[in-house]
């Protein structure tokens, strides 16, 4: 499944939850939910790494809780992106995947063309290297 499709589906589930429980699901609510879920993820991480009591849970249950809390945090971030109009795939390309095309990850060592890659990716433009190789962007 594509990330954009996953974000759309999670956003729809989140919207349905808000309708059922009768509250406004706006950017503020979603940001607070992101914070809540990251806090729960931190608790699960502490349990997983043995720095919190296990509360009677087996190692397998602790591992599963960690995975589910990670999914909650990611899900709320994806819903937040949908509501705020962020194209997650394009933003990830601009922020993270642009480094696949860079030979040096130090910002101070990048030339002007390399620095421009992040902005081009965010705008959905092809990278210079793709243009030079004649590959589609």
129: its two tokens: 């290297």
pLDDT computed for residue 74 by the predictor: 98
85: its two tokens: 């109009």
Whether the model clears a pTM of 0.85, i.e. scores above it, the answer is: no
> With 0-12 CB in 10 A as exposed, 13-18 as middle and 19+ as buried, what is 16?
exposed
87: its two tokens: 């194209």
Cβ atoms of 76 and 34 closer than 8 Å: yes
Range 104-129 burial, b when 16+ CB lie within 10 A, else e: eeeeeebeeebeebbebbbeeeebee
The pLDDT profile of the chain, 137 residues, written as one tens digit per residue, is: 799 999 999 999 999 999 999 999 999 999 999 999 999 999 999 999 999 988 999 999 999 999 999 999 999 999 999 999 999 999 998 888 887 766 666 666 666 766 666 666 667 665 444 444 444 44
Residues with Cβ within 8 Å of residue 20, at least 6 apart in sequence: none
């Amino acid at each position: 499944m594509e990330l954009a499709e996953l974000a759309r589906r999670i956003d729809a589930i989140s919207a349905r939850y808000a309708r059922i429980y009768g509250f406004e699901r706006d950017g503020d609510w979603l940001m607070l939910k992101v914070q809540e879920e990251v806090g729960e993820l931190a608790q699960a991480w502490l349990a997983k790494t043995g720095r919190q009591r296990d509360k009677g849970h087996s190692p397998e249950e602790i591992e599963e809780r960690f995975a589910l809390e990670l999914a909650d945090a990611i899900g709320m971030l994806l819903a937040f992106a949908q509501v705020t109009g962020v194209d997650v795939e394009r933003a990830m390309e601009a922020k993270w995947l642009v480094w696949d095309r860079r030979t040096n990850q130090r910002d101070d060592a990048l030339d002007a063309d390399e620095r421009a890659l992040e902005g081009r990716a965010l705008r959905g433009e092809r990278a210079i290297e793709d243009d030079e190789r004649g590959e589609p962007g």
